[in-house]
Chain A
Amino acid sequence: MTQDKQIRPLEERIDFRQRWLAGLLAWLIPGAGHLYQRRYFKGVVYMACIVGIFVWGSSLGEAKAVHLRWDGADRDAKTRHRSMGYLAQVGVGLPALPAVIQKKRWESQEDAFDLQRPAGEVIEEFQAPFKGILRDAEGGDATITGTVIGALRADQFAGEEFSGTFKGQTSTGKPIEVELAGMRRYESSEDLHIGKRICALDDVTMTHGGVTEGRTFSDDRRRFFARISGGSDGFVEGTVPRPVTNHFQVPLEDAALQHIHGRLGKFYELALVYTWIAGLLNVLAVWDCIQGPAYGYGDEPELDEPELDEPELSGESMKQKAVKWLGYFAGLRSRP
């Protein structure tokens, strides 16, 4: 019976169905290819182990471990950012693929200082819930919540300008409505700062109002700072939300990478290792889906596990052999 099974090829014992379709499914969703082939046990094992390790790794790195950054191809570039680890992570398929789309979106988002942009062109329209502080013309601060409505436009001198209104209330319930304006013609402008639309992790430290210790980073909030129009020194400073689609698997910029390394420390490294290994393990699963198990069906006698009724082992158990070898390695007895 055993001999009969041994000589039968795997193709007769396993229904591979359409191998390449199964392989593609196995890559896209770990375990899905095996479920398609009705190899349910393996499908569940692959799915639980690979997806589990990948998701756990992502959670350890606060969803910042999986991203694709591939720039600095120019030989003269001072810094070259290439997330080589993504080549392993992408093995897990669909769960890592948003990083490719996010890389393209991140690279193609509007450059604040693009010289080619026509003046007055709308870069972004705003109607966003805001929370932060308002400093009025007399220098008094109030905590406010409300809505920012306005538009960010290209400035005629290769910068950007914002015009709009803030409508809301203070923490004491007093209604507030102010006109906002601001212009930004260089990076550290004092008149206007709106965090990037697509960004994995951004600095949202309140630099003008309030007292802060250290820098604060956020993925789901964008820093918003604009002057109150009318020539006064008043301003609003706070944050507006950034949707998950604009920060999930987006490439990390240098400052953000340093911040997350500093804050998570070894857990960020663990997150990377977990997600790399998940991707690499899925390569084995895809191969198994297309070609079948590497060593055979599994009911053949194992070469390194002789059956107990073999004559050379009948008089001496594996345990006895192991004890003899351990004694030899410990220098207590001669070579068995």
Chain B
Amino acid sequence: MLAVMNLMLAQHGNTIWYVLPLAVAISLVYSASRYELTERIVRRATRLFCMIVGFMGAVLVVLWGLSATI
């Protein structure tokens, strides 16, 4: 399974995709360490995942903009 996932991600040719499973794991573990209730954990983890991806996306856009203008 790992080999298949590696292959799938490697085919995109960009290591940035590897951040997604990492963000999922971080969101779930962090939220699980904050609360006990399953529903709350899932909700907070989803929110944290969106925040991480959103923040990284924003940084990406800024850097892309800067690289395009300079």
Binding site for B on A (CB under 8 A): 10, 13-14, 39, 41-42, 45-46, 49-50, 52-53, 55-56, 59-60, 266-267, 270, 273-274, 277-278, 281, 284-285, 287-288, 292-299
Contacts of B37 in A (CB 8 A): 297-299
Binding site for A on B (CB under 8 A): 2-3, 5-6, 15, 18, 21-22, 24-26, 28-30, 32-41
At the interface, is chain A mostly helix, strand, loop or mixed?
A: helix
Provide 12 A-B residue pairs closer than 8 Å at the C-beta atoms, listed in order of the A residue: A46-B32, A52-B21, A56-B2, A56-B5, A277-B25, A278-B25, A281-B26, A285-B33, A293-B32, A296-B35, A296-B36, A298-B36
Q: Tell which of B6, B29, B38 touches A281, judged by Cβ atoms closer than 8 Å.
A: B29
Q: Is the CB of B22 within 8 A of A295?
A: no
Q: Is the CB of B35 within 8 A of A52?
A: no
Given known pairs A56-B21, A266-B15, A270-B15, the reply for A288 and B32 (CB within 8 Å) is yes
Contacts of A287 in B (CB 8 A): 33
Q: Is the CB of B25 within 8 A of A281?
A: yes
Contacts of B18 in A (CB 8 A): 270, 274
Contacts of B29 in A (CB 8 A): 45-46, 49-50, 281, 284-285
Contacts of A297 in B (CB 8 A): 35-37
Cβ-closest chain B residue relative to A41 = B38
Q: Is the CB of B25 within 8 A of A293?
A: no
Given known pairs A46-B29, A270-B15, the reply for A53 and B36 (CB within 8 Å) is no
Determine the distance from Cα of A267 to Cα of B18 in the docked complex, in whole angstroms: 10
Top 3 A-B pairs, shortest CB-CB distance: A298-B37, A298-B35, A298-B40
Contacts of A277 in B (CB 8 A): 22, 25-26
Q: Is the CB of A295 within 8 A of B34?
A: yes
Cβ-closest chain A residue relative to B35 = A298
Q: Is the CB of B34 within 8 A of A299?
A: no
Contacts of A14 in B (CB 8 A): 36
Minimum distance in angstroms from B6 CB to a CB of chain A: 7
Q: Tell which of B2, B6, B30 touches A284, judged by Cβ atoms closer than 8 Å.
A: B30
Q: Is the CB of B36 within 8 A of A39?
A: yes
